[in-house]
Chain A
Amino acid sequence: NIFKVPQAAPVAVFKLTQDFNNDQFPNKVNLGVGAYRTDEGQPWVLPVVKKVEKIIVHDDRLNHEYLPILGLPEFRSSASKIVLGDNSPAILENRVGAVQCLGGTGALKIGAEFLRRFYNGSNNTKTPIYVSAPTWENHNAVFSSAGFEDVRPYRYWDAEKRGLDLAGFLGDLESCPEHSVFVLHACAHNPTGTDPTQEQWKQIAEVMMRRKLFAFFDSAYQGFASGSLEKDAWAVRYFVSSGFEMFCAQSFSKNFGLYNERVGNLTVVARDADNLKRVLSQMEKVVRITWSNPPSQGARIVTITLTSPELFSEWQENVKTMANRVLLMRSQLKAKLQALGTPGTWDHITDQIGMFSFTGLNPKQVEYLVKEKHIYLMASGRINMCGLTTKNIDYVAESIHEAVTKVQ
């Protein structure tokens, strides 16, 4: 062999879907991977996206030329406006810039690579990167593959009370080394669905500002969480108005349903235009040796939508449709579990927000659901609410009831 290459373990969430696909059981349910499903259990291409794709196909002026390295300019600015607000003071002060990236992952990647080179000294790979406990599993890999040697958890999920461990979170903020980087979920925390309240965000921001910690927001669900773009961006906007220099990795995979087009944006808020310019010039160098320039299709779809008032409204409606279906499934699942008298409290199902719910089921109970009931969910007990439909919700509720009562 030239290469002594060991077999790598598959990424868990994709393996789960693979197992689901191979399962022959007629009533199987996939509550694994995070993609929206309709009440028929089908993927949903947003009506506004279909409309815009037709516009693109019929526009003879469009070609397939390279985008600039940092991406489509109108995409970058309109995407940043979505998260920061049209009238964000930072935008008006010309200190907001952005890099079009390949999905939220790509935005995190470029941000991480930049930070490793230029934050807290140069090439300071020892700067601690804090990710929530638990967090999206790829956060760790993004930062460690960017060269950071010290990726650590900050307390977040309180398994006992099934809610936010604010004291633990604030405690870690107070005790961590100065200049540590904190990866914050802007809304609809993945996997717990548990977000800080506005008051709690204020406390978090206060400590971070005082202790000179770097805020790196991950915004993958704006609009999708509550149905309101503004509400879901509250934390990010609060941090900006508090004076942070920060990054926000935005994904349009979920809120535009553009998963496989890889549409993301790294929004950069800097102290002033001059700092911004230098930061973007260095990010450009990182992009050039990673993917050279980003793919155009998805960015065009988003840009056309965001810059047309009617299409923008239509998009907001489509987003609300998705958010509302999730909210409905949450309230119905909770109601059914309560009606069944399933042991435990199930308020967290409706308290939590976004696509995911951290059910609180333990690994044995999860295994029971997967093996005995052909209901596929992550070992952590995370379920994708989008996998629930009016047709399968009874089966799922009954199965959870069984798992909780039979398996300890």
Chain B
Amino acid sequence: MALLKSSKVIYCLGNISPSLGVLSTRNSSWWGGVQMGPPDPILGVTEAFKKDTNPKKMNLGVGAYRDDQGKPFVLSCVRKAEAIIAAKQLDKEYLPIGGLAEFSKACAQLALGPENEVLKSSRSVTVQTISGTGSLRIGANFLARFHPGPHDVYLPKPSWGNHTPIFRDAGMQLKAYRYYEPSTCGFDFKGALDDISKIPEQSIILLHACAHNPTGVDPRPEQWKEIADIVKKRNLLVFFDMAYQGFASGDIDRDAWAVRHFIENGHNIVLSQSFAKNMGLYGERVGGFTVVCKDAEEAKRVESQLKILIRPIYSNPPVNGARIAATILNTPELRSLWLEEVHGMANRIIKMREQLVAGLKKNGSSHNWQHVIDQIGMFCFTGLKPEQVERLTKEFSVYMTKDGRISMAGVTSGNVGYLADAIHAVTK
């Protein structure tokens, strides 16, 4: 049987049975041995939702913001920025490999704060990336090539599903630290500290800057301080993933607090940012990757290497979204408008959390749903078990991922009551 695994034998067998592997005759295919890839668990939810004919159906799967009518929301500041850009009649010449300079600068300032010593001493480099995924990918590739310590990336348990395959494909090993405590639907602070304190020196630790995905559970500032201390003691490289700045609490500075604290605390972090959610620029693919270095000279060397990594993937990044984001960030009235709109999105989510819990209480639920309010950002880890999730989907056409995660963005004042009824029905 081991022989059958050898490609030489499969090649011969291909003559007899084309589906078994390498092309041998004109009528068979190069791709006979290619398996069907598993459906993406999150997008699979949307596929199933689309097919459902129940008028009360709810899509609480993918994390894209919806307004209170359940519609995609194009921010006014985005529309205004687009009008300004259109009037400029700009050309379409290639951007530099590292992207639109005024975007990268504004992106870094947004994360670090414009007065940050790191920016003033030019000891960081920020490149424009293909949203958060592209940023993580470039970061993973950079670490795989240049990180002198162990190539182990410690993710919180659980983390965004795409973190693992990205780092793995870049050649890194994945490990985990305790994070979510199922019994409280909250933060396992003790477990996290305990695990982090045992991570081998110079390993890489990935932290969600705010609005942890998928749990919505964030450390409090005092807890972040302790984490920063222990991470420093272990001499770990910190990789922050910030996909929800502004979107979590409604306040961009508050949401960036952990990132800024770590830097102040002496960590030279690497940071991924996305503008998919906080500016609603999902399909424009706007993101940034930042490396905080020892000094300006190191930053220049790092920048040159990031370009070498970017060029063979996509040469240079797309302009449209970055230009919109830069226009917003760099035009005072638009920036103010944006901050208001981000605040508005975050507030609607917070309100939905409160209404969902109120609805559950009204239904007479005996469970403690406080975590729904305590959790922050787009997602809520309900604590529902797979069987309950299945019932929600089958009996109530409420679609969510199997882990019990719901996207609060999919909840509206029009359907929150129905959701409360449905959750109560499967948990009472």
Contact = CB atoms under 8 A, between A and B. Distances in A.
A8 B307 CA distance: 9
Interface stretch (A187-195, A268-276, A339-347, A365-373): A268-276
B36 A281 contact: yes
A121 B146 contact: no
Chain A, interface SS category: loop
A63 B74 contact: yes
Interface stretch (A83-91, A222-230, A289-297, A312-320): A289-297
A65 B74 CA distance: 9
Given A261-B319, A288-B162, A295-B284, A14 B92 contact: no
Given A69-B43, A260-B94, A288 B29 contact: no
Contact of A138 (B35, B62, B137, B311): B311
Contacts of A101: 314
Interface string B52-94: 0000000000101000000010100010001100100101111
B22 A121 contact: yes
Interface string A206-247: 000000101000000000000000000000000000010100
Given A43-B92, A290-B133, A298-B318, A245 B31 contact: yes
A386 interface: no
Central interface residue in B78, B89, B130, B134, by most chain A CB within 10 Å: B130
A120 B30 CA distance: 8
A33 B313 CA distance: 19
Contacts of A354: none
B257 interface: no
B148 A260 contact: no
Chain B interface category by residue count:
35 or more
A1 B97 contact: no
A105 B36 contact: no
Contacts of B195: none
Given A43-B93, A282-B37, A296-B284, A2 B268 contact: yes
B148 A66 contact: no
B131 A292 contact: yes
Contacts of B137: 289-291
A69 to B, nearest CB: 7
A142 interface: yes
B320 A295 contact: yes
A106 B314 contact: yes
Contact of B146 (A4, A291, A296): A4
B36 A292 contact: no
A124 B82 CA distance: 46
5 contacts: A43-B93, A106-B315, A142-B312, A262-B314, A270-B29
